[in-house]
Amino acid sequence: MTIAKEYLDKLINVTSKAAISSSFLVGKKDKVAADKAAVDSMRTELNKINMIGEIVIGEGSLDQAPMLYTGEILGNKNGPEFDIAVDPLEGTNFAANNLPGAMSVIAMAEKGNLFKAPETYMNKIATSKNEKGLIDLDYTVKKNISNLADFKNTDPSKLTACLLDRPRHKKIIDELRELKVNLVLISDGDVSGALLVSKPEYKVDIFLGIGGGPEGVLAASALDCYDCHFQGRFIFDKDKDIKEARKMGITDMDKKYELSEIIKGDSIFCATAITNCLPTKSNNKDVNALKGIIKDNNNIFSTETIFTHKSLSQKDIIKKKVFFDNV
């Protein structure tokens, strides 16, 4: 079974409306309000779609989140069944402080084909499609970088690695610096960070480190259509996390997941920029591949969305004018 193209169009509308809703709070120093605006809008738009859509990655469990919680059924209850993963506002701090990197994200797969990740951390690694088999989560940083440099017939000093700027990554960062690898350290945004390996123009060769488990599923969904290399392993620090994982059917707590085990079959991924996203270069100038929300006039907004639709082999950035009457 493949997912009809009409659902791609609908999901682009979903993330566009969520991004616009959140954009009114950009720079207001209130990340909770910015997130809520995106959540409310995304849920409203999803409920208009002909489908039975189950949230498998959302805002948390029912007792943690009143809307877009894990297990919530959305859509008008007519039409095909889908698994849905959402992050209505990735980069809450970016939005609150009007910094690049805030986006509204959604992924959809056929029922039963999107991994239900526990609310815990995940150690992950991602590279472009050419590096399959060369890079592995179980290799040392030095071996991965050496393999990558050899494959690209270059020196480690010509490579760029992206990872979250966290104290837990000090050892990895120190090793990368010792190897003279260029670093892109990000304060938030697992999904946008992983996306940077998808195209050569983003100038990132490897994404690695520990981030959120649910965000890992979204990152894998983003890279699926690009045929990129992705591996992830959940990290369970607490007994309650292990118990929750077992309830979800996870039996091997040390299992290393390949991309094909996280998302299967046909899939759609959409991410609409709220602020500018995906840094790149054009004519030797620093630019962003994805521009944030711009209000044109009255209730018309300019949006830019990166999307993939696996069965149609579509992956691109679409620019749209969106009418938004909830101003």
Mean pLDDT by groups of 10 residues along the chain of 327 residues? 94 98 97 96 97 93 78 94 96 95 97 91 90 88 96 96 95 97 92 92 94 92 91 89 86 93 96 94 80 92 97 94 84
Phi and psi at residue 54, to the nearest 5° = -100, 130
Distance of alpha carbon 259 from alpha carbon 20, whole angstroms: 31
Sign, CA torsion 305/94/221/116 = negative
Distance of alpha carbon 53 from alpha carbon 107, whole angstroms: 11
Closest CA to 247 of 159, 109, 119, 158: 119
Torsion of CA 12, 14, 17, 23, to 10 degrees: -90
No. of helices (H) and no. of strands (E), the chain: 9, 16
Distance of alpha carbon 36 from alpha carbon 173, whole angstroms: 34
Give the largest CA-CA distance in the chain.
Answer: 56
- What is the model's pLDDT at position 62? 64
Domains of the chain, with CATH numbers?
5-112+267-323 (3.30.540.10), 121-262 (3.40.190.90)
Alpha-helical (H) ranges within 225-279 are 239-247, 259-262
Q: Where are the beta strands (DSSP E) in 111-235?
A: 121-127, 160-164, 182-186, 206-212, 229-235
- What is the model's pLDDT at position 247? 84
Q: How far is CA 180 from CA 167, 177, 289, 303, in A?
A: 20, 5, 27, 38
> First CA to last CA across the chain, in angstroms?
39
Phi and psi at residue 228, to the nearest 5° = -80, 170
- What is the model's pLDDT at position 127? 94
Closest CA to 34 of 103, 82, 135, 84: 103
